[in-house]
Structure 1
């Protein structure tokens, strides 16, 4: 058996498409692969100063193919490392930094540059890599989402498919490609809950206890009197940030027109949708661990119940707040 010394992909001096593993072509869901660039830079928020991650993917004209990772602060190099595969994505914070490579691997470092784990090997090429506090999130080219607790070196979510979010079940059996909602934003909360926003004016969160995706916001509540309420800062006000993010992404879903038509034909629809919107926001605040926003929406809810004279819901809410043995 003869082995060739030629690289699988000769990287040009600027940009090239990542090499997709065979499993991607066989998958029902195929996400676009990130480009392999000669240089990538990403700023990490540190306690006092800004730390910069920088990688250099060598071209195929070099004697050997490798990638150099440089972590610096104020122009001073803190540490470096060399990898055998091109870096596609980078992320980091005060607790750790991580890079995702073209060979479907992830390397995690401590703030001082110590490797916290051996190289993580995935089933396909990473297309999204993001972090928050001790959590690391990765989405692969086949639509598999994984999250890890880096501090405790534990897996929180393993190979969770995002197919339901892209409406794959609505596509019939066919070899032809079909358009789907675009992924506008993917991030992870401080409590480890992943958030996904699509171009259909919808936001989703994964509930690890129920083991399912929850649609936590969509265009159906757009006629709510409280739509768009809240701050746009995600760390302190994730619900307000979601509302702002959904508005900025726009919408290509027919739900918008349906709810507007309903509002014109039924004058009472707005009040009912507003109450439903508040109840949804309360449930989402609990899921995302946003205590401040939960208190704010609870006040909205109490005032709305009094305005609508919903006696049964008021009694149920009071029993729920009092807890056992009333619930």
Structure 2
């Protein structure tokens, strides 16, 4: 593979890193039990701010409806300022399902192409059956016998390590990649300062706005992969994160009159800068059919690296 092709493969891996990096802000923990009935988001709007109990009921009901919907269309933006050398933004749009986990999105933005003239203006990414597929573009196809899709089977890569703990950590992270909005709602219910902000319009829809803050310790506790850490490693991770100045995650939610999340925002502020993730959801319950690219158009990066003797 030529040098430029390797650069494009690097762009694809950057895209994977972005998706998994966003996933690090999400929950993969236990579900919350939702009541059989709860007020709609607009039920308390005319009478002023909702109490903490009423806000909790609305979010529990939204969790239940979102879990049952199983799929939606999504537009997501991640922006980073002052955190490390790679400040910038990336936009993702497409469809996703969380029962079963699948995703078909298109990515574009400065974080994808920064400093790489060989990077495509946008990249399509598919997740299906624990495998990521990234469209490396027409230039890639010309140099790889028509194969423009790079396949990255993290399950196979995890198995090759021979380390059961590592296998569980890598494959468990695949579920996080899917950005399950229902689990994000479940996590927000853990916020001790959850509150109702008021009525707002989002993309022409009447919504109710909620906000809560979670500490890093609370986020880590709810994430399944953290259970693999020893107490020593867990304490070390907490100490290292505190050195960055990260005090917690500011989470905001906008719920429509139909009881579905229209928008979710997660903000993180550290000593060096900030990161914000915004996800807008529509068409809950949409029927999606995510398909893997044809095998003839795909090359397996992991197998290629193994063949070259690369660790």
Normalised by the size of structure 1, how large is the TM-score?
A: 0.21
Normalised by the size of structure 2, how large is the TM-score?
A: 0.22
